[in-house]
Amino acid sequence: MLQPIDWLVVVLYFAFIVFVGYRTGRGNTGIEDFCLARRSMPWYAIGLSVMATQASAITLVGTTGQGYVDGMRFIQVYLGMPLAIVILCVTLVPFFYRAKVFTAYEFLEKRFDGKTRSLTSFLFLLGRGLADAVVIYAPSVILAIVFGIDEKVIIIAIGLGATIYTTLGGMRAVMWVEMWQMLIIFIGILFCLGSVIVGLPDGVSLTDAIQVAGATGRAETMDFNLDPTVTYTFWTGVCGGIFLMLSYFGTDQSQVQRYLTARSLKESRLALLFSALVKIPMQFVILLTGALLFVFYQFEKPPVVFNPVALERLAQARDVSQLEADYDEAFETRKEAAQNFADALGGPREDEMRRSFLQADADFSGVRSEVLGLIRESEPGFSDTNYVFPTFVLTKLPVGIVGLILVAIFAAAMSTVESELTSLSTATVVDFYQRYVRREAEDSHFLAVSRVATLFWGGFATFCALYMGRLGSAIEAVNRIGSNFYGPILGVFVLAIGARWANGHGAFAGVLLGIVAVQLTARYSEISYLYYNLVGTVVSVVLGYVISLFFASPERSV
Amino acid sequence: MDKEPDLPPPIFKTWGRFYAVVIANTLVTYLLLVLFSAYAR
Q: How do residues A321-343 score in pLDDT, each as one tens digit?
A: 888 899 999 999 999 999 999 99
CB contact under 8 A, A219 and B41: yes
Cα separation, A195 vs A389, in Å, equals 12
Nearest to A211 among B9, B26, B40 (CB): B40
What pLDDT is attached to residue A558? 46
Nearest to A213 among B26, B30, B40 (CB): B40
The predicted model gives A136-145 an average pLDDT of 86
The predicted model gives A445-458 an average pLDDT of 96
- A497 Cβ contact list (under 8 Å, min separation 6): A91, A92, A95, A111, A558
Q: Is pLDDT at A78 greater than 60 in this prediction?
A: yes
Burial class (CB within 10 angstroms; exposed 0-12, middle 13-18, buried 19+) of A144: middle
The predicted model gives A464-469 an average pLDDT of 82
The predicted model gives A512-534 an average pLDDT of 92
CB contact under 8 A, A89 and B36: no
Which of A83-97, A274-288, A462-476, A510-524 is predicted least confidently?
Answer: A462-476
Whether the CB-CB separation of A296 and A196 falls below 8 Å is answered with yes
Q: For residue A264, give the chain B residue with the closest CA.
A: B2
Cα separation, A414 vs A462, in Å, equals 12
User: Which residue spans within A36-185 are E strands per DSSP?
Assistant: none
What pLDDT is attached to residue A2? 80
A262 phi, psi to nearest 5 deg: -65, 150
Q: Is pLDDT at A49 greater than 90 in this prediction?
A: yes
Q: Is pLDDT at A472 greater than 60 in this prediction?
A: no
Instruction: A512-519: list long-range contacts, CB under 8 Å, 24+ apart.
Output: A512/A119, A512/A488, A513/A488, A513/A539, A513/A540, A513/A543, A513/A544, A514/A487, A514/A488, A514/A539, A514/A540, A514/A543, A514/A544, A515/A123, A515/A484, A515/A485, A515/A488, A517/A488, A518/A484, A518/A487, A518/A488, A519/A481, A519/A484
pLDDT > 90: percent of chain A: 68
Query: Which residues in chain B have Cβ-Cβ distances shorter than 8 Å to A220?
Result: 37, 40-41
Q: Is pLDDT at A557 greater than 60 in this prediction?
A: no
The predicted model gives A217-245 an average pLDDT of 93
Q: Tell me the pLDDT tens digit for each residue of A393-440.
A: 988 899 999 999 999 999 999 999 999 999 999 999 999 999 999 988
Cα separation, A108 vs A32, in Å, equals 19
Query: Which residues in chain B have Cβ-Cβ distances shorter than 8 Å to A90?
Result: 15, 19
- Nearest Cα to A237, choosing from A389, A78, A414? A78
Range ranked top by mean pLDDT from A130-134, A369-373, A451-455, A463-467: A451-455
What pLDDT is attached to residue A309? 86
Cα separation, A123 vs A267, in Å, equals 29
Query: Which residues in chain A have Cβ-Cβ distances shorter than 8 Å to B19?
Result: 86, 89-90
Whether the CB-CB separation of A544 and A506 falls below 8 Å is answered with yes
- Nearest Cα to A125, choosing from A535, A504, A461? A461
| Helices and strands (H and E) in chain B: how many | 1, 0
Q: Is pLDDT at A475 greater than 70 in this prediction?
A: no
Q: Is pLDDT at A196 greater than 70 in this prediction?
A: yes
Whether the CB-CB separation of A479 and A128 falls below 8 Å is answered with no
The predicted model gives A130-138 an average pLDDT of 86
Q: Is A214 on the interface with B (CB under 8 A)?
A: yes
With cut-offs at 50, 70 and 90, classify the pLDDT of residue B4.
low
- A7 Cβ contact list (under 8 Å, min separation 6): A403
Which of A135-144, A334-343, A360-369, A469-478 is predicted least confidently?
Answer: A469-478
The predicted model gives A158-183 an average pLDDT of 92
Nearest to A265 among B6, B23, B36 (CB): B6
Whether the CB-CB separation of A176 and A418 falls below 8 Å is answered with no
What pLDDT is attached to residue A317? 84
Whether the CB-CB separation of A83 and B19 falls below 8 Å is answered with no
The predicted model gives A234-249 an average pLDDT of 93
A375 phi, psi to nearest 5 deg: -65, -40
Q: Is A126 on the interface with B (CB under 8 A)?
A: no
ipTM of the complex: 0.93
Q: How many CB atoms lie within 10 A of CB A103?
A: 25
What pLDDT is attached to residue B6? 78
Residue A434 DSSP code: I
Query: Which residues in chain A have Cβ-Cβ distances shorter than 8 Å to B35?
Result: none
Q: For residue A275, give the chain B residue with the closest CA.
A: B22
Query: Which residues in chain B have Cβ-Cβ distances shorter than 8 Å to A75?
Result: 33
Query: Which residues in chain A have Cβ-Cβ distances shorter than 8 Å to B39?
Result: 210-211, 214
- What's the farthest any 2 CA atoms get from each other in chain A? 81
Q: For residue A273, give the chain B residue with the closest CA.
A: B22
CA–CA–CA angle B15, A89, B27 (5° rounding): 75
CB contact under 8 A, B40 and A83: no
Helix (H) or strand (E) holding A406: helix A401-426
What pLDDT is attached to residue A473? 57
- A531 Cβ contact list (under 8 Å, min separation 6): A228, A236, A239, A240, A243, A521
Which of A289-303, A372-386, A518-532 is predicted least confidently?
Answer: A372-386
Nearest to B25 among A263, A277, A284 (CB): A277
Burial class (CB within 10 angstroms; exposed 0-12, middle 13-18, buried 19+) of A550: exposed
Reduce the secondary structure of A317-343 to three states and give it as a string.
HCCCHHHHHHHHHHHHHHHHHHHHHHH
- What per-residue string of b and e applies to A490-507 under the rule 16 or more CB within 10 Å gives b? bbbbbbbeebeebbbbbb
Q: Is pLDDT at A41 greater than 90 in this prediction?
A: yes
Q: Tell me the pLDDT tens digit for each residue of A539-551.
A: 999 999 999 998 8
- The sign of the torsion formed by the CA atoms of A518, A522, A527, A531 equals positive
CB contact under 8 A, B3 and A219: no
CB contact under 8 A, B36 and A221: yes
Helical pair A486-498 and A104-111, crossing angle rounded to 10 deg: 40
